[in-house]
Amino acid sequence: MRAAQYLRTSSDHQEHSLLQQSEGIRQYANSNDFDIVRTYSDHNKSGLDLAHRPGLRALLHDVVTAQADFAAVLVFDVSRWGRFQNTDESACYEFLCRRAGVQVHYCADVFPNDGSLNSNILKSLRRAIAGEYIRELSERVSRAQKKIARSGFKLGGPAGYGLRRVLVNEDGRFKRVLADGDRKSLSKDRVTYALGPKDEVAVVREIFHRFVESGWSIRRIADSLAPKQTMRQCGGRWDFQAVYRILRHPKYMGCIVFNRTCSRLRTKPVTNPKTDWIVQPGSFKSLVPPELFQRAQLKFSRRTALKTDEELLAGLRVLLDQKGRLSESLINASPELPWANTYRERFGSLAQAYQSAQNLKAGVMQ
């Protein structure tokens, strides 16, 4: 019988490499009279979703559109479909194959995939185990990352304007400055911040002094920088949000900050409440004095604290009328509104703030 094989690994260090999977499938094919005529593979691809797996998408496309020139799909084991939190997702891929008349065989599993009660129970159990494995792995990774952050080291992402990423060894000794896109190669190495070019450092300090000591608005600061064509590290021009982010981020007073957002298991990123942030002071040389940074935060808090619930909701209602919808990203991108966390703290949740803003037009307060 003509068959295709599907192979997947999530990393170079996975227990069952593509070669091992292919060899196991080959032995199964030889023992069961299958002729492997096509291979679909996803190397270094997470099993959490379909979007980032071109091999599986191609397989399903060929099967569903009746372009497959094979009658069976050989898979090393159930978890190769993916380690989904919802076990129905991996079952769905097998169902699509079976509905198109293509059999699915799991070569390393100890049960025949014959549709019997025992087979279905064992498959469901294996899918659940696969999902639990990735959930526990995510928890372990999260705990390890938090430990690293509390030790004063940076995890992921660009340094930001005025700062640069620096590679150090496990004892904290300098190794080299990391260029954009560079990653550490040794697991024991760590990454921290260092002050960037003098012109960038001067601009950041000027932003804080103008905002705190000269009383300039954020919009005025951004407008003063734009004509100079001073470019941010990411290549964008200065605007309200660029200045706002600098004034609000604790890294400019020497703090490593982690867990501001959460996106576990490929879920949509969400902003965590400040109580969940990990902020480690004194992790590296501060770009601005901590006292100056705190004065800037005090100025922000006073500005928001003076606004009534009705004033906050009125701004939210204007945004709703302009965009036709509300979201955390739209709120954070709006120069007229406070940060989304302000609405969480004031109204209990963004959903409650959204509902209150929608009801405001009718003169009803929740």
pLDDT exceeding 70 applies to what percent of the chain? 92
Averaged pLDDT score across all residues of the chain:
85
Please check whether residue 347 is in contact with residue 353, taking contact to mean a CB–CB distance below 8 angstroms. yes
Closest CA to 152 of 251, 292, 271, 293: 251
pTM reported for the whole predicted model: 0.62
Question: Domains, the chain, ranges and CATH?
Answer: 2-137 (3.40.50.1390), 195-306 (3.90.1750.20), 307-366 (no CATH)
For residue 173, give Cα distances in angstroms to 55, 166, 168, 176: 43, 10, 5, 10
Q: pLDDT tens across 42-84, in order?
A: 987 776 667 788 999 999 999 999 999 999 999 998 888 887 7
What is the pLDDT confidence band of residue 366, given thresholds at 50, 70 and 90?
very low
At 365, give phi and psi (nearest 5°): -110, 135
Residue 215 has pLDDT above 70, yes or no: yes
Residue 234: predicted pLDDT:
56
Residue 267 has pLDDT above 70, yes or no: no
Residue 97 has pLDDT above 60, yes or no: yes
Q: How many residues does the chain have?
A: 366
- DSSP string across 59-94: HHHHHHTT----SEEEESSGGGS---SSHHHHHHHH
pLDDT exceeding 90 applies to what percent of the chain? 37
